[in-house]
Amino acid sequence: MDSLQLFTRQTKAISTARRSLLVIESIPGIRYNEIVDVQLGTGETRIGQVIEVGKETTVVQVFGGVSEVDLLNSRVRYKGETLKLPVSGDIMGRLFDGSGNPIDGGPPIVADTYLDINGVPANPASRMPPAEFIETGISAIDGLNVLVRGQKLPIFSGSGLPHNKIAAQILRQASLKGKSEEFAIVFGAIGVSYDDAGYCISNLEETGALSRTVAFINTASSPVIERLSTPRLALTAAEYLAWEHDMHVLVILTDITNYCDALRELAAMRGEIPSRRGYPGYMYTDLASLYERAGRISGKEGSVTIIPILTMPDDDITHPIADLTGYITEGQIVLSRALERKRIYPPIDVFLSLSRMMKEGIGEGNTREDHNNVFMQSYAVYAEGNYLREISTVIGSEALSDRDRVYLSASDRFEEEFISQAENNRRTVEETLELAWNIFSMLPREDLKLIQEEYIKKYLPEAPENRVTTETG
């Protein structure tokens, strides 16, 4: 980023170097947490960050491999300012690295303004509760775990599961019901492989979405410190587009696991006392400083919707990265290896998945009047079927009653017809609800306890044969 080059002052008075920490004699004007430039004795340059300022000494953490000898002969250059992103309407359609420098061969951004990449917290009293339904075209989401504008809804994935495909499908298909307006896309790739970053970019390119995308890409081989700045740059850009340019912005951040690992690595280098599994005790707060930047502000047109993607180490949902994320976000879309093995795409585990903003975004005027009832009844049926499947593995399905066997097959159909859909299949929410009603039509009518009578009369297909299939791919 161009502001990074503007280091104005420097010092050579380095007193000690231990691990990655440099203790320098204090210099007037250096700011707490500012990013500095450390020039090593060898002439190489490293980035550092001020992590403690005192009257006599200042502690700088240097990122990137350095030895103590290097550090002893280095000098620190600083500019007396914290990290800022230059922004203007021209950032649309551009690709940047994790420091905010263009990497698409285009010209530098002529800034309208420079924004602090840490953002400023929104006043809770100014926030508007997210409520507008986003149709992703994916039944497991639109039917049961609805995404709304201004929500933060992560994808909890595992290594090798198709989270990139799903994210790409959402980006391609997401729209507001009944409106043609398209989302602006901000893409933050954190410590991902070239292949993964390339997959996402080319996907956006193919669908022509690249012109409404801003991408910040920190690949696995770029500096670790940039893993921390990449999402902040992306969110700063998103906020700028949403609050200054009235756009509805969809932010994809991938992979949060790399972000957290960088946080852990840097904390360990400072010798901090770790919390669970070596991650720092303040990781909740740190992640919140990213995710909480989603939302809507009353009186402003735009919105920031965030879909962070993380891979759960060992598929463990109690791992601190998934756990702390779940404690901050408004639900989660969880991918399941078991469904993936059954070749169900998208392999969304609807029991572990949740959208907490759903109730505001569904129903009459948003989706359809029966949506909430269908949602509750679907869970009841699928949960019952799943439980029966579990016990039938021990006792055999012959030992079940006829009624129970109906539930077994309803839950199979639920996976095969409702959850499963092709990567290029975009279902309307009405089609999604119809699929659920078709499955309900297998069950005894009085079992539909969670649906109001009038909706049963209106939407329940007469006989199971009447079922509609919308699958095309």
Partner 1 sequence: MGKIWKISGPVVIAEDMRGSQVYEVVDVGDERLSGEIIGLERDKAVIQVYEDTVGLRVGEPVTGTGEILMVELGPGLVGNIYDGVQRSLVTMMDDIGDFLVRGVRTDALDRKKKWHFTPSVKTGDMVQEGDIIGNVPETGLIEHRIMVPIGTQGTILEISEGEFTIEETVALLEHEGAKKPLTLMQKWPARKPRLYKQRFVPEDLLVTGTRIIDYLFPLALGGKAAIPGGFGTGKTVCLQQMARWSQTQLNIYVGCGERGNEMADVLHSFKKLKDPATGRLLQEKEIFIANTSNMPVVAREISIFIGITMAEYFRDMGYDVLLVADSTSRWAEAMREIGARLEETPGEEGFPTYLGSRLSAFYERSGRVTCIGKPERMGSATVIGSVSPPGADFSEPVTQATLRIVDVLYSLDVALANKRHFPTINWLQSYSLYADSVDKWWNRISPDYNEIRDKALITLQHEAELEEIVRLVGPEALPEDDKLVLLAARMIREDFLMQSAYHPVDTYTEPKRTHLMLSTIMKLYGLAKEATESGMLVNEISSSKILPRISRMKDIPNEEFDDYMKQLWSDMDKNPFV
Ligand X SMILES: Nc1ncnc2c1ncn2[C@@H]1O[C@H](COP(=O)(O)OP(=O)(O)OP(=O)(O)O)[C@@H](O)[C@H]1O
Number of amino acids touching ligand X (CB under 6 A): 3
* Chain residues 277-306 in contact with ligand X, contact rule CB under 6 A: none
Does residue 351 bind ligand X (CB under 6 A)? no
Q: Which is nearer to ligand X, 344 or 354 (CB)?
A: 354
* Chain residues 436-455 in contact with partner 1, contact rule CB under 8 A: 444, 446, 449, 452
Does residue 127 bind partner 1 (CB under 8 A)? yes
Is the C-alpha dihedral spanning 426, 428, 433, 439 positive or negative? Answer: negative
217: Cβ contacts below 8 Å, ≥ 6 apart: 95, 96, 97, 98, 103, 187, 189, 192, 197, 201, 230
* Chain residues 52-111 in contact with partner 1, contact rule CB under 8 A: 52-55, 80-82
Member of 220, 268, 269, 328 binding partner 1 (CB under 8 A):
328
Does residue 376 bind partner 1 (CB under 8 A)? yes
Q: How far apart are the first and last CA of the chain?
A: 44
Report in angstroms how near the CB of residue 174 gets to ligand X at its nearest. 21
278: Cβ contacts below 8 Å, ≥ 6 apart: 264, 268
Report in angstroms how near the CB of residue 379 gets to partner 1 at its nearest. 4
Q: Which does 292 bind (CB under 5 to 8 A by kind): ligand X, partner 1, none?
A: partner 1
Does residue 327 bind ligand X (CB under 6 A)? yes
Q: Which two tokens stand for residue 40?
A: 């090593």
CA 328 – CA 331 distance, rounded (Å): 8
Member of 401, 457, 462, 473 binding partner 1 (CB under 8 A):
401
Report in angstroms how near the CB of residue 281 gets to ligand X at its nearest. 18
Q: Which two tokens stand for residue 110?
A: 């002529």
CA 236 – CA 87 distance, rounded (Å): 9
- What does residue 309 show for φ and ψ, rounded to 5 degrees? -115, 135
* Chain residues 142-201 in contact with partner 1, contact rule CB under 8 A: 150-151
Q: Which is nearer to partner 1, 209 or 334 (CB)?
A: 334
* DSSP string for 206-264: HTT-GGGEEEEEEETTS-THHHHHHHHHHHHHHHIIIIIH--EEEEEEE-HHHHHHHHH
Report in angstroms how near the CB of residue 388 gets to ligand X at its nearest. 24
CA 50 – CA 62 distance, rounded (Å): 9
Report in angstroms how near the CB of residue 54 gets to partner 1 at its nearest. 4
User: Cβ(231)–Cβ(190) under 8 Å?
Assistant: yes
Cα 45 off chain centre by: 32
* Chain residues 242-301 in contact with partner 1, contact rule CB under 8 A: 272-273, 275-276, 281-282, 284-285, 288-289, 292-295, 297-300
Member of 126, 424, 469, 472 binding partner 1 (CB under 8 A):
126
H or E element at residue 185 = strand 184-192
H or E element at residue 459 = helix 453-459
Q: Which two tokens stand for residue 342?
A: 């059954």
Q: Which is nearer to partner 1, 254 or 372 (CB)?
A: 372
Does residue 32 bind ligand X (CB under 6 A)? no
Does residue 129 bind partner 1 (CB under 8 A)? yes
Q: Which is nearer to partner 1, 31 or 77 (CB)?
A: 31
Q: Which is nearer to ligand X, 60 or 350 (CB)?
A: 350
Q: Which is nearer to ligand X, 345 or 375 (CB)?
A: 375
Member of 98, 158, 331, 361 binding partner 1 (CB under 8 A):
331
Does residue 356 bind ligand X (CB under 6 A)? yes
Q: Which is nearer to partner 1, 390 or 465 (CB)?
A: 390
Span interacting with partner 1, options 29-37, 203-211, 245-253, 338-346, rule CB under 8 A:
29-37
User: Cβ(452)–Cβ(430) under 8 Å?
Assistant: no
Residue 113 forms beta bridges with which residues? 87
Q: Which is nearer to ligand X, 254 or 329 (CB)?
A: 329
CA distances from 26 to 14, 60, 83, 148, 292 (A): 9, 11, 20, 49, 35
Member of 244, 340, 369, 404 binding partner 1 (CB under 8 A):
404
- Positions touching ligand X (CB under 6 A) are 327, 354, 356
